[in-house]
Structure 1
């Protein structure tokens, strides 16, 4: 910087920390200014100094950052418990939520509906001839709460277990179909039919095995190992014997005739 003699006194007043030749003032004692000099040439006053930005790493106060206005910089890296990557930057220790495992016991309060169940002929069968059984079940979606989260439990029919009441059973991937819907005559064997070996009244039942999975309100999904069962029982089937005889009159004409 260069000023004429007329302002020399003002400069000395404005910059009392600057060392005037012949004085012992150390302008760096309590200032960021160091190596301060003032030289009066007779026609001008020459003033020079070094400035170290506060917080700068300049070897204990010295340095050559003349006129610097930079913010203090730190060479320290991330804290020991931080993890950094070029995509998300630095992060600390966070608790990450994961989808919990779900068991059949956890969804015990979510109960799918029982299947419908019927038989052909209507509650009556003939010894040694197929009686047809038909069950029906649909997918079900039951809303509720699990582990403190809103969820929907989904049930899908996976298989049907028919128990005919005489100790025999059959497992089918479907609930079967009626003879008319199959275009078949009565007493035709079907994948869900059963022929009884003796007269009597039997209590048939069907169990639907549902596969289940849980949908959390976050959109996450968790399959449930195993099956949830729903049973409809107590369908009565009366089994009779049929005998043929050659007669000359029908039972209407002769109510006391053979087989009437």
Structure 2
């Protein structure tokens, strides 16, 4: 028969990843809006993203995917309905104070227009039905102030980075593929910023696997997946890793989150910046195997080579 002996040697290595993140630079269009009688103070959000045709969620460019495109639209709250004209249907909307003694809100209808057109004709944003309430003396200023700070607020959210899983775990074999995968999902948050109700969504878009032995994979859009136990140590997945030396290795996964936000049920706007969160490390114990022919089983001869408590030869 063949007996197998497992031996360990402690080796530790950590890999730190530092990522530079962009800074939010919101723009504003101050051209007059024809036909409404007030100054256009819309917000042009310049994040780069693509829109998923099914989910409608913006996402960044990953791996070898096609180049990202900029949102072609700019958005603004149309406050013209305050004057009681235009047939915009705001007259029946009440915007009571959200706090005791606070100010009443302003009924608005969200508009959008192409960024590329100078002095565009603004159209209703079809993603929202009817007017909504914005709070503050000048809603346009409030939106610009939120846009200027939204990345900081986004990075302070209690976003769950998920967990890193390994198969097999906690022990694996030197030279054999160890399967890694992550578990994290899109997460939503409702907060108050400058007196406005803001809905934020954090979406995982890419992952970096740090295996603890000085090697890493990513960023990659692949989360990995669990495989049947019968395939452990034999199946190579896109996120698998084979350790070349025995030892104990702290492995982690860093998830890159992109985000969107909407103000008082307004259109979802992309957050110009990302957030990287790292899972708690899991320790992988990498063993090696030795093979030898023996005459007896451990039940027949507890002192046989390869049996627990015996020294390898």
> Is TM-score (shorter-chain normalized) higher than 0.5?
yes
Question: C-alpha displacement at 1:179, in angstroms?
Answer: 1.5
Normalization by structure 1: what TM-score? 0.60
Distance 1:239 1:112 in 2: 32
Match of 1:176 in 2: 224
Of 150, 163, 167, the match for 2:214? 167
Distance 2:227 2:139 in 1: 57
Query: Higher Cα Rg: structure 1 or 2?
Result: 1
Q: Is the counterpart of residue 255 in structure 1 residue 302 in structure 2?
A: yes
Paired residue secondary structure (2:249): strand
Question: C-alpha displacement at 1:157, in angstroms?
Answer: 0.9
Counterparts in 2 of 1:148 and 1:109: CA distance versus 1, 3 Å: farther
Of 140, 153, 177, the match for 1:97? 140
Q: Counterparts in 2 of 1:29-108, with a 5 A limit? A: 88=36, 97=140, 99-100=143-144, 101-102=147-148, 103-108=150-155
Match of 1:117 in 2: 164
Distance 1:237 1:84 in 2: 62
Paired residue secondary structure (1:107): helix
The answer to whether the 8 Å contact 2:179/2:232 transfers is no
Paired residue secondary structure (2:228): helix
The answer to whether the 8 Å contact 2:174/2:288 transfers is yes
Residue-pair matches, total = 175
Match of 1:199 in 2: 246
Which structure has more relative contact order (CA 8 Å, sep 6+)? It is 2
Q: Deviations over 1:174-231 (max 9, x none)?
A: 22111229x8454311111111111111111111111111111141332112321222
Specify every segment of 5 or more residues in structure 1 that has no aligned partner in the other structure, as ranges. Answer: 1-82
Q: Is the counterpart of residue 213 in structure 1 residue 256 in structure 2?
A: no
Q: Is the counterpart of residue 154 in structure 1 residue 201 in structure 2?
A: yes
Match of 2:15 in 1: none
Paired residue secondary structure (1:225): coil
Distance 1:117 1:178 in 2: 11
The answer to whether the 8 Å contact 1:132/1:187 transfers is no
Question: C-alpha displacement at 1:107, in angstroms?
Answer: 2.1
Paired residue secondary structure (1:104): helix
Distance 1:111 1:92 in 2: 38
Q: Deviations over 1:45-87 (max 9, x none)?
A: xxxxxxxxxxxxxxxxxxxxxxxxxxxxxxxxxxxxxx997x5
Counterparts in 2 of 1:148 and 1:243: CA distance versus 1, 3 Å: same
Specify every segment of 5 or more residues in structure 2 that has no aligned partner in the other structure, as ranges. Answer: 1-31, 41-78, 80-137, 308-313
The answer to whether the 8 Å contact 1:135/1:176 transfers is yes
Match of 1:225 in 2: 272
Counterparts in 2 of 1:96 and 1:155: CA distance versus 1, 3 Å: closer
Normalization by structure 2: what TM-score? 0.50
Paired residue secondary structure (1:179): coil
Q: Deviations over 1:148-189 (max 9, x none)?
A: 3110110111011111111111123122111229x8454311
